[in-house]
Amino acid sequence: MKEFFEDARRRMEKTVKTFREELARVRTGRASVSLLEGVKVDYYGTKMPVPQMATVTVSEGKYIVIQPWDVSTIKAIERAIMESDLGLTPTSDGKVIRLNVPPLTEERRKELVKLVRKMAEEARIAIRNIRRELMDDLKKMKKEGEISEDDFHRFQDQVQKITDEFIGKVEKVLEEKEKEILTV
């Protein structure tokens, strides 16, 4: 049974990690290299994230500077940024691309809070789906006589505790991101 609970924790931890990675791509009015993780550039027929084809740095907290390793990709990177949902306009001098990350409007902040809450709900649903699968496995074990009625109830309680713990982690990450978005 130890592996059963370790597997549950591992799957739920993966859900929280994915949620964190998705949140890192949400713009908060502060320049961040992670904003460009989701921007894929068509590079010789392959879609690559900007940070994998350029040196990306943050300058003065409000500019993102992109220095492609292959200068011929500048136009493709600019196009990918324009087509992304970041709402940023790249400027280039032929060697380096600069992105000015303007402060967010109050309206945009509220939209972003709604978006991150929706993402959090998706993470909570994913965790609850894992719980449901685990509960189904426990029911099957009980039905096949692999575990007793008492063990079944004890294991159900353990699964619920693990679920509550990971939903709490999602809530904490959401709270931090909301605070970050709403901070002017």
pLDDT at 35 over 90: no
Q: How far apart are CA 160 and CA 176, in angstroms?
A: 24
> Which residues, 6+ apart, have CB-to-CB distance to 4 below 8 Å?
134, 137, 155
> What pLDDT was estimated at residue 45?
85
Domains of the chain: 2-24+105-182 (1.10.132.20), 33-100 (3.30.1360.40)
Among candidate residues 57, 52, 58, the one with its CA nearest the CA of residue 77 = 52
Eight-class DSSP state of 46: E
pTM for this model (two decimals): 0.72
128-179 residue pLDDT tens: 999 999 999 999 999 999 999 999 999 999 999 999 999 999 999 999 999 8
97-106 residue pLDDT tens: 998 888 778 8
Average pLDDT, the chain: 89
pLDDT at 122 over 70: yes
> What pLDDT was estimated at residue 184?
65
